């Protein structure tokens, strides 16, 4: 085997890994350690000889990665038998310092540490993953791949908030955007599907998972995106509110005595679909809506209306659009969301084919003569991270 990258995505209490052939995207093994630091952790490893499940306590990220390395030895493929060229780490926030993936060294770690105030939930966990992996796998080059990097091509008028200039200079307050590896991957796939070079197409990419974001992509470059300083802004998500009036923070402080932290937490973890229906899983919202639940219907309408507004806004940003691309859990699987998001947009040249939309096996949900194609494309962030890591180490 050759050209494999061990992709690591370290969250606050989880460690996800995947051994990916950077050329083909094929995963030789994948795994996930969840509930790190709790009494009973959960480790699942899918290798060539099947799946392996374990429920032992895993104290910290170091123990989690040790368990992963052990799972490779026991259940395959043994890491020593695979030509691994790099370890690729997902890092959520690269600020405006990283417009591309970069080799991990002490300077990079210092820079990512400085960015912690911008991503207090994510960057510390990502750093932990990097440090542990460097200790356990010291002979391999480690590459950081940033969620924000793809959006560093935004023009200043798209990334600048209309707030006092000093806020950007002093606190880094501007739009950064996230889900960059997904938007980048899906853009390349969409262009290939259209039989065009990515430089020649304009796309609106809608990543609709637990987190949701929309990106306007002109010629392979992100020119606007819905997530902002943090992944809270933009579309309605599983537990995040997306766009709202910033005055809400002040009002809740005055009338309800809520602290900034409490409101932040509620907007990140108790809002979105969960705030409107009590559940964040889109499938459950769908099920309730089908059963006539009015709150689920309203949540669905709010979700899809926001999506439609972003499609319209990014259509205006791009001027001409070759395709609208749906990806991630909801984008890929919910025909009803796709239908609602583009309904009534025939005047913009967007013509959905209901039968294809219900079963988009060839990735196309629009009619043959629709001026704007509607595509349904699975994302593969692990493969994109592997490809970018391979680029950095010169594969």
Compute the least distance from the CB of residue 130 to ligand AMP, in Å: 23
Question: Segment contacting ligand AMP (CB under 6 A): 119-127, 150-158, 280-288, 383-391?
Answer: 280-288
For residue 207, say whether it is annotated as part of any ligand binding site: yes
CA gap 237, 268 in Å, rounded: 9
Convert 251-274 to b/e letters by CB count within 10 Å (16 or more is b): ebeeeeebeeeebeeebbeebbbb
**Strands of the 4-10 sheet, one edge to the other:** 50-54, 42-47, 27-34, 15-21, 4-10, 84-91, 142-146, 102-103
> Which range touches ligand AMP (CB under 6 A), out of 52-60, 108-116, 279-287, 343-351?
279-287
Our answer to whether residue 147 is catalytic in this structure is: yes
Residue closer to ligand AMP (CB basis): 35 or 333? 333
Instruction: Tell me if 23 is assigned to a ligand binding site.
Output: no
Q: Is 249 an interacting residue with respect to ligand AMP (CB under 6 A)?
A: no
Q: Which residue, 3 or 272, is less far from ligand AMP as judged by CB?
A: 272
Q: Which is nearer to ligand AMP, 333 or 351 (CB)?
A: 333
The residue of the chain with the least Cβ separation from ligand AMP equals 329
Strand bridging mode 142-146 / 102-103:
antiparallel
Q: Binding of ligand AMP at residue 209 (CB under 6 A)? A: yes
Member of 265, 283, 287, 295 binding ligand AMP (CB under 6 A): 283
The answer to whether 238 contacts ligand AMP (rule: CB under 6 A) is yes
CB of 212 to ligand AMP, least distance (A): 9
Nearer to ligand AMP, 135 or 283 (CB): 283
- The reply to whether 348 sits in an annotated binding site is no
Q: Which of residues 312-351 bind ligand AMP (CB under 6 A)?
A: 328-330, 333-334
Catalytic choice (21, 147, 224, 322) = 147
CB of 236 to ligand AMP, least distance (A): 11
Minimum CB–partner distance for residue 339 and ligand AMP (Å) = 13
Residue the block writes with tokens 């294809």: 356
Q: Which residues are catalytic?
A: 147
> Which residues contact ligand AMP by CB under 6 A?
209-210, 238, 281-283, 286, 328-330, 333-334
């Amino acid at each position: 085997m050759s050209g494999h990258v061990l992709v690591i995505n370290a969250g606050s209490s989880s460690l996800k890994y995947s051994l990916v052939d950077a050329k083909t995207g094929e995963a030789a093994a994948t795994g996930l350690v969840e509930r790190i630091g709790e009494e009973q952790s959960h480790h699942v490893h899918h290798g060539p000889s099947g799946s392996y499940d374990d429920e032992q306590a895993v104290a910290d990220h170091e123990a989690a990665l040790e368990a992963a390395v052990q799972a490779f030895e026991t259940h395959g493929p043994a890491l020593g038998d695979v030509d691994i060229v790099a370890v690729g780490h997902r890092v959520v926030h690269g600020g405006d310092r990283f417009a591309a993936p970069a080799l991990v060294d002490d300077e990079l770690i210092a820079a990512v540490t400085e960015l912690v105030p911008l991503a207090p939930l994510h960057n510390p966990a990502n750093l932990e993953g990097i440090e542990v992996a460097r200790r356990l796998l010291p002979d391999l080059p480690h590459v950081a791949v940033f969620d924000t990097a793809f959006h560093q091509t935004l023009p200043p008028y798209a990334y600048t908030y209309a707030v006092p200039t000093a806020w950007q200079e002093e606190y880094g307050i501007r739009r950064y955007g996230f889900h960059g590896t997904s938007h980048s991957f899906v853009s390349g796939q969409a262009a290939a599907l259209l039989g065009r070079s990515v430089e020649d197409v304009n796309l609106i990419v809608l990543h609709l998972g637990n987190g949701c974001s929309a990106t306007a992509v002109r010629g392979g470059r992100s020119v606007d995106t819905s997530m902002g300083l943090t992944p809270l802004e933009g579309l309605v998500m599983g537990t995040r509110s997306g766009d709202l009036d910033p005055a809400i923070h002040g009002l809740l402080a005055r009338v309800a005595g809520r602290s900034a932290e409490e409101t932040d937490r509620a907007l990140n973890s108790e809002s979105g679909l969960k705030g409107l229906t009590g559940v964040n899983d889109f499938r459950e919202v769908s099920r309730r809506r089908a059963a006539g639940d009015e709150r689920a219907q309203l949540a669905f309408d709010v979700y899809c209306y926001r999506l439609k507004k972003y499609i319209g806004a990014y259509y205006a940003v791009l001027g001409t659009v070759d395709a609208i691309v749906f990806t991630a859990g909801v984008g890929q699987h919910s025909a009803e969301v796709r239908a609602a998001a583009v309904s009534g947009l025939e005047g913009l040249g967007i013509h959905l084919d209901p039968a294809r939309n219900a079963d988009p096996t060839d990735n196309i949900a629009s009619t043959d003569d629709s001026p704007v194609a509607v595509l349904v494309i699975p994302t593969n962030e692990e493969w994109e991270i592997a490809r970018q890591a391979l680029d950095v180490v010169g594969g």
